[in-house]
A and B are shown apart, each in its own frame.
Chain A
Amino acid sequence: MTTDLNQVRESLTGLKTQAEEVKGAEALTMKELEELKQDRKFDNQLAIAHDNIDNYLRDTEGASLNVDVKKQEIVNLLKEVMDIQDENDPAFRELANELGLLTPVIKAEQGGKGGEVTPKVEKFTSPEAVEKARTDALGILEQVKGSIEITGENQDKKRKILDNVFATLKERVQSKEPSLPTFEELKTLAIQKANAEVGMAAAMLLDIPGLINGLLEKQEIKGKYEEAKKVLDSVSVDSTKKSTALENMSEGELNNVDTLIDSIPKDAWEDVPEGQTKSLGDLYKEAVMSGYKENYDKWEADKYPPDMFKKFGRMIGGLFEKLGKFLGPLFSKLSGLPVIGDALGFLKGFLPEKKEEEIPDAKKAIQKEIKEAKNKIEWTNADSATFKSFNTFRDGGKIETSAGTMVLFPPMKELLGFIDGLPLEKSADYKSISVADFEGWYKNTPPQVLSLLTWAYGKKEKNDPTFSKISRDTWEALLKSTAKITVSADNKTAEFGSSVKGARSITLETWSDAALRKVLGLEVVAGKSKEVINLYAHSESGIGLESMTELWEGEGETKKLKEFLVELADPKMEPFWGSYRLTQRDLENLKNHAGGHGNQGMKALDDADIGVHDVQFILEIGKYIPTELWHWNGTSLSYDDSSNAERYFEVSAGGWFDRNPKFDSVESFFTWLGSGIDKVNGKTLLFDPNSPATIGDTSVNTKSPSGNSDTEGEDEDEIDK
């Protein structure tokens, strides 16, 4: 225990780190500032360009609906603006890539298991790569197409629709400039022209993570949310039911999709690849295609051997099982906002891992935004600053998603001022502040510091994994300790009091926004969107917290946060905290609650007119308040902190001191108390019979006849006699 506490004491020194981090924060140079401004201008234009391109690709009023053609038009515009002819010009390619004009291709990495597809974005770099991508893409198409089960009513129409979608995809793959449609293209292809569900279902099957990520990354998610959810739900499969998006389509919807079918050149259907062995997919394709050419209603299952359908069934079952597993958690997240942040986090696991050095543009953009907002607050003493947020496309591009306003929650400023005012001690790489430096800790500790400690030392709870109240024992250990926040020189990592049993180690990257909100008391006010507000945690906290964004919904959370802060600040809300504030009112409360628990030592003191609350107070406060602040007049003991009238306290204790002449000074009293403190076992106070102030000749007898202080309760009769 002692060793632990020493370690904790050592580590509490760390709060100084906060102050130095705050004080040592370097302002940007003018050059850096100018660079930031330029980057910001570029990011703005890029975001606008993305919007324009998206709008243009979606535009159905133009002459062509072909996305490739439209993209080429944009490419030509870009070439015109750049005054270049060569599309291989590196500068052109760089910009075209940032604009998403160099279409990525989804390539299958087949691990030998049928239907298992790992999407991977690749760019065409050579004719061979094109051919390989083409083959791979066709393989994916076949796999997916062959894995779709069509059930329910209107099967023929559904099959026709789905097959047409796939045929269109195939046409794209086989064209001179092959590419699988992006999500945007699929929307143009199917959603606006015909029916959203078909296009989205097909896209989803082709590239589930890409699609959903795309959905979530787009501004349109707000408008398409219900639509997307509907589609996703329709593909959700539980153990008792299998369904497809098509199954749920109405007759009217199906008819609408016919428009799409009619728009596909008939040649596309006749372009059957030659010389291929007939896989299940081929057979299926043939069946569907022949049905299309003649009459779907006449397409009959008995044309094909029954075992083929069994195999189909197994494939389909396997696929949908996978889909169900994959989508299930997402659905649950989609079922209520805020969802996007969670879903994105969830999806990360399914996306190809990015190398560390490949920081997405969006993240860089957010970092810039945050830095600028932070600077604005620091430099201008503004209470708030607006910032933009971006999300990342799969190809590395970014799009502005929403904006928010960062504000400093008022107590935050107090905290900063508080930490700023602390004396500092510098070391080479680490900086720290010790709890001992918190003069007047009890009354001055800002709620944020308390909540930080609480978060770090509190136990994780089921309903609220980010926070729970710190236990009394832990708090005591903490106060006696020098737990520290250690922030690395590069400000990227921090540890806090990890030597205390059960304490959480704080590594900045791993902090959840919820925890940060609670610890820092940050509040975010509405930005552009009422539904989606970005939350931002910044480094002025002094613990070097990295900025991050999180969706924040409505007023409920905000209210909760405020309540939380109020609770921390109000001793009435939590007797434990109150005991450390030690007002007279608190002492009364203690007295009211402390009786009747059979503690012999306390009972004895009660008999001697020293209340349990007095002893508790002395025990608690005596550990932290220098003895010089206590006054002894020979018959009573008082502590008077003149700076705080509420803290005045006096132990008069009737005749108790008179009966114990050894208490002739503050020191002797505390020496005696100290020997008692050592015997504090949980919340039971036992007096040491060998204490210098053993009270043997009064009605108060705390001596254990056995001499063993652990025998409380056994000696009740003897003590009370």
Chain B
Amino acid sequence: MTERKPLTVQQKTEILKKLNEKLEALMAQRKNKN
């Protein structure tokens, strides 16, 4: 297993930002389908 360094606050923020973008895109996509 690759050893990861603990994430910095900035890194975690970036990850959450991307996750949020994806979640929002997913929700928007579903809405459009309906």
B20 contacts A49, C-beta separation under 8 Å: yes
**CB closest residue in chain B, given A53:** B23
B15-34 CB contact bits vs A (8 Å, 1 = yes)? 11111101110110011011
B20 contacts A61, C-beta separation under 8 Å: no
A91 contacts B4, C-beta separation under 8 Å: yes
Which residues of A are found within 8 Å of B22, using beta-carbon distances?
77, 80-81
B17 contacts A45, C-beta separation under 8 Å: yes
A42 contacts B27, C-beta separation under 8 Å: no
The residues in A between 518 and 551 inclusive whose CB is less than 8 angstroms from any CB of B are: none
Q: Could you tell me the distance in whole angstroms from the C-beta of A364 to the nearest C-beta in chain B?
A: 13
Query: In the docked arrangement, what's the CA distance between A86 and B30, Å?
Result: 28
A404-442 CB contact bits vs B (8 Å, 1 = yes)? 000000000000000000000000000000000000000
- Kindly identify which residue among B4, B7, B9, B34 contacts A61, using a CB–CB cutoff of 8 Å: B34
Query: Contacts A38-B13, A91-B7, A95-B12 hold; do A61 and B19 have CB atoms under 8 A apart?
Result: no
Query: In the docked arrangement, what's the CA distance between A52 and B23, Å?
Result: 7
A56 contacts B26, C-beta separation under 8 Å: yes
User: A89 an interface residue at 8 Å Cβ cutoff?
Assistant: yes
A45 contacts B20, C-beta separation under 8 Å: yes
**CB closest residue in chain B, given A94:** B7
Which residues of A are found within 8 Å of B17, using beta-carbon distances?
45
The residues in A between 52 and 80 inclusive whose CB is less than 8 angstroms from any CB of B are: 52-53, 55-56, 59, 61-62, 74, 77-78, 80
Which residues of B are found within 8 Å of A95, using beta-carbon distances?
7, 12, 15-16
Query: In the docked arrangement, what's the CA distance between A236 and B18, Å?
Result: 45
B1 contacts A61, C-beta separation under 8 Å: no
B6 contacts A91, C-beta separation under 8 Å: yes
Query: In the docked arrangement, what's the CA distance between A45 and B27, Å?
Result: 17
Interface of A (DSSP majority class) = helix
Query: Contacts A74-B23, A81-B18 hold; do A61 and B31 have CB atoms under 8 A apart?
Result: yes
Which residues of A are found within 8 Å of B24, using beta-carbon distances?
52
Q: Could you tell me the distance in whole angstroms from the C-beta of A721 to the nearest C-beta in chain B?
A: 90
Query: In the docked arrangement, what's the CA distance between A77 and B27, Å?
Result: 13
Q: Could you tell me the distance in whole angstroms from the C-beta of B2 to the nearest C-beta in chain A?
A: 8
Q: A46-B16, A94-B7, A94-B12 are known contacts; what are 8 more A-B pairs with Cβ within 8 Å?
A: A35-B9, A39-B9, A42-B12, A45-B20, A52-B24, A61-B33, A90-B4, A91-B6
CB<8 Å pairs between A and B, sample of 25:
A38-B10, A39-B9, A41-B9, A45-B17, A49-B20, A49-B23, A56-B23, A56-B26, A56-B27, A59-B27, A61-B31, A74-B19, A74-B23, A77-B22, A77-B26, A78-B15, A78-B19, A86-B1, A88-B1, A90-B6, A91-B4, A91-B7, A95-B12, A95-B15, A95-B16
User: A48 an interface residue at 8 Å Cβ cutoff?
Assistant: yes
User: A645 an interface residue at 8 Å Cβ cutoff?
Assistant: no
Q: Could you tell me the distance in whole angstroms from the C-beta of A314 to the nearest C-beta in chain B?
A: 49
Q: Could you tell me the distance in whole angstroms from the C-beta of A78 to the nearest C-beta in chain B?
A: 6
Query: In the docked arrangement, what's the CA distance between A244 and B3, Å?
Result: 54
Query: In the docked arrangement, what's the CA distance between A38 and B27, Å?
Result: 28
Interface centre among A42, A84, A94 (most CB of B within 10 A): A42
User: A82 an interface residue at 8 Å Cβ cutoff?
Assistant: yes
Query: In the docked arrangement, what's the CA distance between A61 and B34, Å?
Result: 8
Query: Contacts A45-B17, A86-B1 hold; do A59 and B12 have CB atoms under 8 A apart?
Result: no
